[in-house]
Amino acid sequence: MQLVLSNSREERRNLYLVLFDYLLHKINETCIASGVSEYSDDEVQPIATLLMLADAPEALHLSVKLGVEGMVELLKRSISTALSRYPNNDRLITLLQSMVEKFDMLMRSFTCLDTEFTQMVQMTKSFKSLESIDEVHINSVGIKAKLSWATLHSLLHSERSAYRHNGYLWLVDLLIAEISDEGDESLWLSIQTLEQKIKIAGVNDYSASLGVPLPIWLMCGLLKSRNNLVRWGFLLVLERLLMRCKFLLDESEVQHVIRSEASGHMHAKNRLEKANAVINIMSNALSLMAQRNETDRMNILKMCDILFSQLCLKVVPTTAMLFGDTQIHDSSSSERNKAGAESLSQKENLGREESMGDSDSKIGKSFNPKICGTASMAALLLNGQAIVPMQLVARIPAALFYWPLIQLAGAATDNIALGVSVGSKGRGNIPGATSDIRATLLLLLIGKCTADPAAFSDVGGEQFFRELLDDTDARVAYYSSTFLLKRNQKITNGCFIVLFQELSRVTMKSCWRIPTFRCVAYFSCQMNNLEALSCA
């Protein structure tokens, strides 16, 4: 569980090393019990080094977090050839096989449903609606089907996390069964149908006439629970569903390439369509949280994490190697977003192209190893180490940006106060904290409103951003003021004075949260903007 919740590469690396030592200890215990010599440090070192070079901590993290099987086997294949060059390769390969089996058993205990539910899973796949159960003439079969669905519902709403976890695995399996028909056309159609049915089930009570399968009703029903932990389950199921959809679409594309040679243009087009398909499912599902006005802070933060993971694309500079880090592409986001990134120019990607507070944070001109080590896409985007294709942002409802921005207002202030109280040296904010998330949401919203006038009207127009000038987070107030200045470059002198007064007010209220060396740049930037406006 700690591996799933880990937020940095260093944390995942430390957890992986603990697991590695534990499993090695178990293997050596077995060797001693069977009369075989245990493995020495010299024998273990090559395998440990090669696994780290293959980025085993990140692979295991994704395997556990997203329920992806086969990761350990892929690691084994990637280093087996290198081990064959060692003089004692037979013994090393035997040790590697034992480690792989132990790791696989450990991962499967968390990513696979308990075997006691196997028959029930098959029953739920055979009977996907209450009407189909009622039509069964054999009473014993109908009773088993109803018992299976009741068991799944109880697991999903259980107070015990282990029970809920089994329910999530079960439900994701059923949802994937809804779209895993054979053939490319049926797959795309099934995904679009799933998207529409999630939207229907989210705003309606159960009705057979709506034609929505029970798995979708159960998924959307999680949001209706008063228990915030159960509602959290909706987001976990959604996250795994999105990843499994991505895998199915990738497999479909591979089969298409095998059957016919596609041009590079068609390949890029397919990648964009895949990204759009996943974004549409995510948008409809997360919009249900906004419609139901979710108030739990952790659930809202998880919602933002899913949103950023689908939109952001990491761009790690080559200078990263100077800090001893390796360039790792996050499979949960990079493949999804290459479609948009390949087809857009640099100007069409939302990144941090100009300094908004830190003069050393411009895109492509700096590298912060502490930021790169975090798992937070928000921190990477603000530091210029990630971009967001605007084609994907255009498909996201504006509410998914401004609603969590408002809901998390108090959380950002609490995080900053906590950072200061425990000895922070002035900034009071760690990479990826709530303050970074709100700043990222605002930047995405500004990007969408700039490109789409309808979105600007949906959020309340200029009045919405004027209200943000009073925000307790200095960055939110600053980004809002900058956006308003850029939108009002042709304002009259009277309006100019009003805007100057508002900007001065928010500056004076917020400057105590900005270090001195940034305050000078802050005021200078505002005065330069105002001078340009007065000349216009």
Longest dimension (CA), the chain: 91
Q: Over 50: is that where the pLDDT of 192 sits?
A: yes
Element (H or E) spanning 214, and its range? helix 214-221
Over residues 45-86, the pLDDT tens digits come to 888 888 888 888 888 877 777 666 777 778 888 888 888 888
Co-location of 393 and 528 in the same domain: yes
Quick one: CA torsion of 353, 358, 360, 366, rounded to 10 degrees? -60
CB atoms within 10 A of CB 135: 10
End residue of a domain, out of 253, 288, 323:
288
Residue by residue, DSSP assigns 158-197 as -SSHHHHHHHHHHHHHHHHHTT--SSHHHHHHHHHHHHHH
Query: Of 52, 78, 111, which residue constitutes the final position of a domain?
Result: 111
Per-residue model confidence (pLDDT) at position 510? 43
SS (H, E, C) 51-87: HHHCCHHHHHHHHHHHCCCCHHHHHHHHHHHHHCCCC
CA distance 463 to 487: 13
* Cβ(152)–Cβ(170) below 8 Å: yes
Is residue 155 in a domain?
yes
| Res 475: pLDDT | 87
Q: Is 124 domain-assigned?
A: yes
What confidence tens digit (pLDDT) does each residue in 151-190 have?
Answer: 999 999 999 988 898 899 999 999 998 887 655 557 888 8
pLDDT in tens, 470-522: 888 888 999 999 998 888 764 444 444 444 444 444 444 444 344 333 333 34
* The last residue of a domain, from among 288, 316, 333: 288
Q: Is there a domain that residue 295 lies in?
A: no
Q: Are residues 278 and 318 in the same domain?
A: no
For residues 340 and 272, the answer to whether their CB atoms sit within 8 Å is yes
Q: Tokens for 412, please give them.
A: 């950002």
pLDDT tens-place string over residues 405-452:
999 987 766 666 666 665 555 455 666 778 889 999 999 999 999 888
On the question of pLDDT at 281 being above 90, the answer is yes
At residue 316, the pLDDT reads 56
15 with 29, same domain: the answer is yes
Residue whose token pair is 């590079």: 264
Q: 455 and 429 in one domain? A: yes
Q: How far apart are CA 198 and CA 281, in angstroms?
A: 8
Distance CA 500, CA 498 (A): 5
Residue 173: inside a domain:
yes
Same domain for 151 and 278? Answer: yes
Count how many domains the chain has.
3
**Residue-level pLDDT at 171:** 94
Residue 412 burial (CB count, 10 A)? 23
Residues 53 and 152 placed together within one structural domain of the fold: no
Please state the rounded mean pLDDT for residues 117-146. 82
Question: Which residues, other chains included, contact 466 with Cβ-Cβ below 8 Å and sequence gap of 6+?
Answer: 480, 484, 502
pLDDT of residue 7 exceeding 60, the answer is yes
Residues 518 and 438 in one domain: yes
Q: Residues 432, 515: one domain?
A: yes
Q: In the chain, count of helices (H) and strands (E)?
A: 27, 3
Are residue 264 and residue 333 in the same domain, yes or no?
A: no
pLDDT band for position 307 (cuts 50, 70, 90): very high
Shared-domain flag, residues 350 and 493:
yes
Asked whether residue 528 is domain-assigned, the answer is yes
pLDDT band, very low/low/confident/very high, at 327 (cuts 50, 70, 90): very low
Q: Which two three-digit tokens encode residue 339?
A: 């479609």
Range of the domain at 69: 2-111
According to the model, what pLDDT value does residue 416 have? Answer: 62
> Residues 269, 377: one domain?
no
The answer as to whether 455 is a domain residue is yes
The pLDDT of 109-116, averaged and rounded, is 78
By the 8 A CB rule, do 66 and 3 touch?
no
Q: Is 314 helix (H, G, I), strand (E, B) or coil?
A: strand
Say if 301 falls within a structural domain: no
pLDDT reported for residue 349: 56
Q: Which residue do the tokens 């395998």 mark? A: 47
Does 294 map to a domain?
no
Closest CA to 403 of 286, 481, 483: 286
Query: What integer pLDDT is reported at residue 333 of this predicted model?
Result: 43
The 10s digit of each residue's pLDDT in 241-260 is 998 888 888 777 656 555 55
- Rounded Cα distance between 196 and 200, Å, is 6
The phi and psi torsions of 333 (rounded to 5 degrees) equal: -135, -35
Co-location of 485 and 446 in the same domain: yes
* Rg (the chain; Cα; Å): 26
Four-residue CA torsion sign, 466, 469, 473, 479: positive
- Residue 8 half-sphere exposure toward CB, CA atoms < 13 A: 15
